[in-house]
A and B are shown apart, each in its own frame.
Chain A
Amino acid sequence: MADILWIGTRKGLFALRPDPRRRSFRVSAPQFFGHVIHHAVQDPREPRTMLVAAKTGHLGPTVFRSIDRGRTWKEAAQPPAFRKATEGEKARAVERVFWLTAGHSSDPGGWYAGTAPAGLFRSRDAGDRWEPVAGFNDHPMNSRWAAGLATPDGELLHSILVDPRDAGHLYLAISVGGVFESRDGGRDWAPLNAGIEADFLPDSNAAFGHDPHCVELHPAMPDRLYQQNHCGIYRLDRPATTWTRIGKAMPKSVGDIGFPVVLHPKNPDVAWVVPMDGTTVWPRTSVGGKPAVYQTRDAGRSWRRQARGLPAKNAWFTVLRQAMCIDTRDGRGLYFGTTGGEVWASANGGETWRRIAEHLPEIYSVTLAI
Chain B
Amino acid sequence: MHCTVKIPSPLRSYTGGVSSVTAHGATVAELLADLEQRFPGMRFRIIDEQDGIRPHIRFFAGSREVRDLTERMDGERVLHVICALSGG
Assess whether B48 is in contact with A60, with CB atoms less than 8 Å apart: yes
Contacting residues of chain A (6-52) with chain B, CB-CB under 8 angstroms: 34
Query: Given that A77-B41, A79-B44 are known contacts, is A59 also in contact with B83, CB under 8 Å in the complex?
Result: yes
- The minimal Cβ–Cβ distance linking B37 to chain A, given in whole angstroms, is 13
With a cutoff of 8 Å between Cβ atoms, the chain A residues found around residue B87 in the complex are 57-58
CA distance A210 to B54 in the complex (A): 30
Q: Main secondary structure on chain A at its contact with chain B?
A: loop
Assess whether A93 is in contact with B44, with CB atoms less than 8 Å apart: no
Is residue A75 contacting chain B, with contact meaning CB distance below 8 A? yes
Assess whether A84 is in contact with B46, with CB atoms less than 8 Å apart: no
- The minimal Cβ–Cβ distance linking B87 to chain A, given in whole angstroms, is 5
With a cutoff of 8 Å between Cβ atoms, the chain B residues found around residue A59 in the complex are 10-11, 45-46, 54, 57, 83
Assess whether B85 is in contact with A58, with CB atoms less than 8 Å apart: yes
With a cutoff of 8 Å between Cβ atoms, the chain A residues found around residue B50 in the complex are 82, 84-85, 91-93
- The minimal Cβ–Cβ distance linking B11 to chain A, given in whole angstroms, is 7
Assess whether B44 is in contact with A58, with CB atoms less than 8 Å apart: no
Is residue B40 contacting chain A, with contact meaning CB distance below 8 A? yes
| Chain B residues within 8 Å of chain A by Cβ, number | 19
| Chain A residues within 8 Å of chain B by Cβ, number | 20
Is residue A227 contacting chain B, with contact meaning CB distance below 8 A? no
- The minimal Cβ–Cβ distance linking A252 to chain B, given in whole angstroms, is 37
Q: Mark A252-294, 1 if CB is under 8 A from B, else 0.
A: 0000000000000000000000000000000000000000000
Assess whether B54 is in contact with A60, with CB atoms less than 8 Å apart: yes
Contact of A60 among B44, B84, B85 (CB under 8 A): B44
Contacting residues of chain B (16-54) with chain A, CB-CB under 8 angstroms: 40-41, 44-50, 52, 54
Q: Mark A72-99, 1 if CB is under 8 A from B, else 0.
A: 0001110101111100000111100000
Assess whether A57 is in contact with B56, with CB atoms less than 8 Å apart: yes
Assess whether B41 is in contact with A62, with CB atoms less than 8 Å apart: yes
Query: Given that A75-B41, A77-B41, A79-B44 are known contacts, is A58 also in contact with B56, CB under 8 Å in the complex?
Result: yes
Additional pairs, 6, CB under 8 Å, beyond known A58-B87, A59-B46: A58-B56, A58-B57, A58-B85, A62-B44, A75-B41, A77-B40
Across chains A and B, which 6 residue pairs bring their CB atoms closest together, nearest first? A93-B48, A58-B56, A81-B49, A59-B45, A91-B50, A60-B45
Q: Which residues of B contact A (CB under 8 A)?
A: 10-11, 40-41, 44-50, 52, 54, 56-57, 83-85, 87
**Sampled A-B contacts (10; CB under 8 Å):** A34-B10, A56-B10, A58-B10, A59-B11, A60-B44, A60-B46, A82-B49, A85-B50, A92-B50, A93-B49
